[in-house]
Amino acid sequence: MIPNIENKVVVHFRDARIVKGYTYDFNPNKETFHVANVQNGREIIEVTTSQVKAVFFR
């Protein structure tokens, strides 16, 4: 069983958006991952890696 570990991240998108939050399923080899957006009440958003410029782990 894989533990449910949240990683604090800042995601910079190619269109200049920035999202701060937590992810539990980031894998650079997959096409998508999810971020709980702390700027919007921890709303879960699906992120497509092709739209991402950078992901910073804090």
Tell me the domain boundaries of the chain. Answer: 1-37
Alpha-carbon span 45 to 21, nearest angstrom: 10
Kindly indicate the confidence band of residue 11, based on its pLDDT and cuts at 50, 70 and 90: very high
Residue pair 36/21 in contact (Cβ under 8 Å)? The answer is yes
pLDDT digits (tens, 9 = 90+) for 15-47: 999 999 999 999 989 999 999 999 988 899 999
Evaluate the CA torsion angle 3, 24, 40, 8 in order and state its sign. positive
